[in-house]
Structure 1
Amino acid sequence: MYDLTGFQRDLLYVIAGEGEPHGLAIKEELEKYYESEIHHGRLYPNLDTVVDKGLVEKGQKDRRTNVYTLTRRGRREIEARREWEGQYVEV
């Protein structure tokens, strides 16, 4: 996870929290968080990156809609990141 950008990490968290979201659902959640528009040219290349790294699996809902799910590795990476953050931030 250390080699991901903050935006790519945020993608993992949104995907983990939404189950099997499609790209536009991910985009909407990130726009709420960032309070600004997320362009497709930013979203989809970053989704492809986390897929290529084996953290997310890309599937098809129908001919036009892709869905995204965390892989076991992606879930382990989130858990490891949260443990690491927990050393520094108490909630």
Structure 2
Amino acid sequence: MTDDSLEARTRRLHDHLEATAELPIDRQANRWLGEAEAIARDAASHDLEREVVVDRVRKVQRLLSEVDETGHDEADDHLEAAKACCEAILDGDA
């Protein structure tokens, strides 16, 4: 059984974005993903109020919407998974 707490979901979001950091991806995509990863790290690693976490995930979602593909198949998979994580978090907290 998976942990579906907000903390676990934000941790999964961050993990997907962090996984793209070491991959050879498009420079422009890297900028968006790097900023999204930093915000997701903050949301996942601090004892924040639910509203603050949700606000940060919305910011991550907006940043990720700027990236269609990264130029690397594995990074594209992580990107799509991160977008799905954002949707799951925001749908569950809307």
Q: TM-score, with normalisation over the residues of structure 1?
A: 0.34
| Structure number, greater radius of gyration | 1
What is the TM-score of this pair, normalised by structure 2? 0.33
Structure having greater relative contact order (Cα 8 Å, sep ≥ 6): 2
Structure with more of its chain in strand, by fraction: 1
